[in-house]
């Protein structure tokens, strides 16, 4: 690297091809930290997980981490059925759209693309932790969108439950005791023209049954 900078690497074989995972740049990452990251990489590799998809080195924490963008949910661009991108793709395509489990599919797609996939699209879904889910939801709350945090938590819960159903993950990571954005104020709405017309036409019947 420029200036004689030195980096730590974990070298391994994945699908019969030699690969390497950047563990960080010295001296920002000391020997003990590099060894700990390498040990974690060995452990996930033994479980059949690509260490590059395990989030061992957080984005932005080391120059060796490769930058990646996020693809739209309906387009699967992965050769691993365990990637979070694949899980989101399957959840959206089969559960949300094909099985019509959500009234507003476009809303689910927008939430996944804006808040869920950017940090996780190249991660193995089995390596994402409950703490990472909490941190993701906290960021949404901290930017001033508590209601969106609640909506995102609901979508994530459905997505991981679907992942269990499809044998993509073994357990749900969303185990919240309360809404991340807190209680929501009740909303008021007026009757639509169609609803108002129906009410007026059936007013006598409705009043009689009360």
What domains appear along the chain, each with residue ranges and CATH number? 2-53 (3.30.160.390), 68-200 (1.10.150.130)
* pLDDT tens, per residue, the chain with 210 residues: 455 678 888 888 887 888 888 888 888 888 888 888 888 888 777 767 777 777 777 655 443 333 333 444 443 344 455 678 788 888 888 888 877 777 788 888 889 988 988 888 778 888 888 899 999 999 999 999 999 999 999 999 999 999 998 888 888 888 877 788 877 766 666 667 776 777 677 666 655 555
Longest dimension (CA), the chain: 87
Nearest 10 degrees: CA dihedral of 184, 190, 192, 194?
Answer: 120
Task: Answer for the pair 26, 7: CB distance below 8 angstroms, yes or no.
Answer: yes
Helix (H) or strand (E) holding 69: none
**Rounded to the nearest 10 degrees, what angle do helices 146-165 and 130-142 cross at?**
160
Task: Answer for the pair 85, 76: CB distance below 8 angstroms, yes or no.
Answer: yes
């Amino acid at each position: 690297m420029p200036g004689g900078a030195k980096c730590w690497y974990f070298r391994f074989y994945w699908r019969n091809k030699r690969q390497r995972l950047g563990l960080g740049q010295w001296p920002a990452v000391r020997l003990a930290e590099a060894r700990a990251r390498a040990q974690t990489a060995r452990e996930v590799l033994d479980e059949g997980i690509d260490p590059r998809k395990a989030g061992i080195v957080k984005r932005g924490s080391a120059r060796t981490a490769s930058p990646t963008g996020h693809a739209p949910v309906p387009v699967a661009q992965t050769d691993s059925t365990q990637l979070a991108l694949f899980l989101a793709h399957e959840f959206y395509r089969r559960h949300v759209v094909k099985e019509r489990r959500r009234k507003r599919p476009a809303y689910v797609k927008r939430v996944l693309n804006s808040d869920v996939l950017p940090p996780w699209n190249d991660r193995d879904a089995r390596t994402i932790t409950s703490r990472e889910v909490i941190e993701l939801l906290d960021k949404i709350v901290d930017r001033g969108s508590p209601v969106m945090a609640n909506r995102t938590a609901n979508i994530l819960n459905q997505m991981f439950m679907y992942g269990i159903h499809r044998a993509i993950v073994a357990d749900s990571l969303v185990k919240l005791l309360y809404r991340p954005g807190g209680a929501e104020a009740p909303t008021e709405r007026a009757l639509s023209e169609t609803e108002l017309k129906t009410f007026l036409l059936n007013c006598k019947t409705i009043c009689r049954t009360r």
